[in-house]
Amino acid sequence: MGVSALVTLPIVLEHLNIRLKSNLILMGTARSLGRGDIAGLRFFLSNSDIPISMGLCIEGVKLGRLSYYSIGMMRCEISCQVPEQYDWTRFGAVGSVVTLNKVINRILGIPLPRRPRTNIVLGMIEGGTSFDTVATRADLKFEIRSESAKLVRQVGQQIESIAEEVAALTEAEVNYKVFAQRKPGGIKFSHPLASNARTIIKQLGIKPWISPSTSELAAFIAHRIPAITLGLTDGANLGKPDETIEIAPISKGIAQLAGLILAIDRGCCDEHK
Residue pLDDT tens, the chain, 273 long: 999 999 999 999 999 999 999 999 999 988 887 788 899 999 999 999 999 999 999 999 999 999 999 999 999 999 999 876 665 555 445 688 999 999 999 999 999 999 999 999 999 999 988 888 778 899 999 999 999 999 999 999 999 999 999 999 887 899 999 999 999 999 999 999 999 999 999 999 999 999 998 889 999 999 999 999 999 999 999 878 899 999 999 999 999 999 999 999 999 999 875
The model carries a pTM of: 0.85
Residues 109 and 157 in one domain: yes
Residues 130 and 57 in one domain: no
- CA nearest 140: which of 152, 123, 158, 121? 123
- Note down the domain range covering 91: 72-182
Residues 138 and 120 in one domain: yes
Q: What is the pLDDT of residues 164-200, one digit of tens each?
A: 999 998 878 999 999 999 999 999 999 999 999 999 9
Residues 132 and 53 in one domain: no
Q: Residue type for 224, please?
A: R
Residues 137 and 195 in one domain: no
Residues 229 and 254 in one domain: yes
Exposure string of 212-241, with b = 16+ CB inside 10 Å and e = fewer, is bbbbbbbbbbbeebbbbbbbbbbbeeeeee
Pairwise CA distance, residues 99 & 172, whole Å: 8
Instruction: Out of 182, 204, 226, pick the residue that ends a domain.
Output: 182
